[in-house]
């Protein structure tokens, strides 16, 4: 993978960027995504944010090598601390856990002024992301799921707005599986949740011989609810 040939996961993320916008790529790693987007005339400019020195140095070198330092600013900082209000129109956070993504968004809410679109790709825990969006006035406009190198990824695209209709039927199921993904039930969706269902059943079996406690009972109830939901959609 390089600045001209992204993974399928990152190409799908890039395709969600509205044309001629300014983008913040949070946790940019080598800055392949913003370099690719600029060199393919998809964006006006970008901020590549990194908190760790190693990836930060890689991103700086990558932008220099591409000769686009006037258009892509590489900045060190945690989460949305690398941007200012009204500085970017699109925020991308890809390749992290869903809980971490929701924490980043929550801690940097004041930096989202002027942002028109969020493109979020949680590796796990998409429910946390959907819940944050729902609670903070953002609505899903697209959900995608894909398989690459034996891993399954979800890509959530959101814009400001009410989402009452999305979660009207069964809020817990919609948060867990994704209201838009549920409509399509892509083969990767079925594969992911069949695997999760098998895993939850295995955990329940392992807990059969454990000593009962309030904590264990609560965990069993939570997993059993997920099993019922998954069986209902597969």
- Over residues 140-183, the pLDDT tens digits come to 999 999 999 999 999 999 999 987 778 878 899 999 999 999 99
What is the CATH code of the structural domain delimited by 8-166? 3.40.50.150
The C-alpha atoms of residue 85 and residue 89 are separated, in whole angstroms, by 10
Among candidates 120, 131, 76, which has minimal Cα distance to 97? 120
Q: Of 147-156, 189-198, 201-210, which range is least confident?
A: 201-210
Domain ranges within the chain, ordered by starting residue: 8-166, 190-233
- 20 confidence band (pLDDT: 50, 70, 90): very high
Among candidates 182, 188, 157, 178, which has minimal Cα distance to 13? 157
Q: Of 29-33, 109-113, 158-162, 210-214, which range is least confident?
A: 210-214
Residues 6+ apart with CB under 8 A from 76: 49, 50, 51, 53, 56, 82
pTM (two decimals): 0.94
What integer pLDDT is reported at residue 218 of this predicted model?
85
Is pLDDT above 80 for 212? no
* DSSP character at residue 4: S
Give the strand pairing for 43-50 and 21-26. parallel
Is pLDDT above 90 for 228? yes
Mean pLDDT for all residues in the chain: 93
What integer pLDDT is reported at residue 208 of this predicted model?
79
Collapsed DSSP state (helix, strand, coil) of residue 31: coil
Q: What is the mean pLDDT of residues 32-58?
A: 96
What integer pLDDT is reported at residue 168 of this predicted model?
79
Collapsed DSSP state (helix, strand, coil) of residue 58: helix
What integer pLDDT is reported at residue 85 of this predicted model?
97
């Amino acid at each position: 993978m390089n600045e001209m040939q992204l993974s399928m996961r990152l190409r799908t993320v890039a395709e969600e960027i509205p044309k001629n916008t300014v983008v913040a790529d949070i946790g940019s790693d080598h800055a392949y995504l913003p370099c690719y987007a600029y060199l393919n005339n998809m964006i006006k400019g970008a901020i590549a944010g990194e908190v760790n020195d190693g990836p930060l140095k890689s991103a700086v070198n990558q932008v220099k090598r591409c000769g686009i330092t006037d258009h892509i600013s590489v900045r060190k900082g945690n989460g949305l601390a690398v941007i200012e209000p009204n500085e970017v129109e699109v925020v991308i956070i890809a390749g992290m856990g869903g809980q971490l993504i929701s924490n980043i968004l929550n801690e940097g809410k004041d930096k989202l002024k002027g942002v028109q679109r969020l493109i979020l790709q949680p590796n796990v825990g998409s429910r946390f992301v959907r819940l944050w969006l729902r609670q903070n006035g953002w609505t899903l406009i697209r959900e995608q799921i894909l398989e690459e190198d034996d891993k399954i990824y979800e890509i959530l695209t959101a814009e400001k707005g009410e989402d009452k209709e999305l979660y009207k039927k069964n809020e817990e199921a919609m948060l867990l599986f994704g209201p838009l993904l549920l409509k399509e039930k892509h083969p990767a969706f079925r594969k992911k949740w069949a695997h999760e269902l098998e895993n939850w059943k295995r955990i329940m079996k392992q807990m059969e011989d454990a000593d009962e406690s309030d904590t264990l009972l609560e965990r069993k109830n939570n997993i059993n609810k997920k099993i019922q939901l998954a069986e209902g959609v597969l």
